[in-house]
Amino acid sequence: MKRQLHLYWFSGSGNTFWVASAFAQRLRQLEWTVELRPLEHSDPQTIDPEAVLGLAFPTHFFSIPEIVRSFVRSLPRANGTSAMMLGTHGVASGGVVGSMKRRLTAKGFHCTSARIFSMPDSFYPLFSDAVNRRQIERGLKQAERYAEEFAAGTTHWSRWAILSDLCGAFFGGFFAARKWMPYYYSTIHARSGLCKRCDVCVRCCPMNALKKRATHLLAQKRLVRIVYVVLPSALPMPCDT
């Protein structure tokens, strides 16, 4: 396998970005060439078949985020190009590992390695900042170890067929039906004492789901997409300013 990885990452809150960055940094130290590419700004038709295809994304409602599904659907047919993934979850990963392997295999990719990392839940912040910091540190260290195992060729991509298919089918239908659902979680109220009104969150949102209001509220445009929004437990991440 060529020691070159193009890692396409999507991160709604920052958790996945930092895990992907820790993984990439350690892999570079092991003499791999790694490019981190924001998935939402990348054209799936232009992937390099000579490089390992990497996908990094969070678990949303125990399933693959729609933006990642769309990216994979648009990938060209491959002829055995190696692929790997890393993911993050707050509670459980559900069906993402098996579902993604099935999708990539159907496209002609050779799925070699997958790992899921537990990070602070950005949908329901359950723990204190101290507990979240420890979980973040643990997740980043695990990402570095994953890079070492990946470079050594000792990782694999397992698939729990029943769990993956059930979760994938159920929550895939859930997202497909979202246009018929009520406007749950329609508005996010910024913390007036902490919000600097800098608009960084509006510019960084990969789904363009936020709007600034005169009252400095952040309004959710898309149904059931609050999971894409920077929430209190989220980590900072880069964006074009």
List, as one string, the DSSP characters of 91-142.
S--TTHHHHHHHHHHHTT-EEEEEEEEE---SSS--S-HHHHHHHHHHHHHH
- Whether 125 and 218 map to the same domain: the answer is no
Give the pLDDT confidence of 68-112 residue by residue, as tens digits.
999 999 999 999 999 999 999 876 666 788 889 999 999 999 999
- Whether 13 and 131 map to the same domain: the answer is yes
Give the distance, in angstroms, between the CA of residue 150 and the centroid of all CA atoms in the same chain.
19
User: Does residue 218 form part of some domain?
Assistant: yes
User: Does residue 177 form part of some domain?
Assistant: no
Q: Measure the CA dihedral 73/113/32/19, to 10°.
A: 80
Task: Tell me the pLDDT band of 240, cut-offs 50, 70 and 90.
Answer: very low
Task: For residue 198, give every residue at least 6 positions away whose Cβ sits within 8 Å of its Cβ, in sequence order, or none.
Answer: none
- Whether 104 and 222 map to the same domain: the answer is no
- Whether 154 and 206 map to the same domain: the answer is no
What total of structural domains would you count in the chain?
A: 2
Q: Containing domain of residue 123, as a range?
A: 4-170
Task: State pTM to two decimals.
Answer: 0.75
**Where does a domain end: 146, 170, 194?**
170
Give the pLDDT confidence of 111-151 residue by residue, as tens digits.
999 999 998 876 656 667 788 888 889 999 999 999 999 99
- Whether 57 and 93 map to the same domain: the answer is yes
Strand partners, 58: 88
User: Does residue 43 form part of some domain?
Assistant: yes
Contact 188, 226 (CB under 8 A): yes
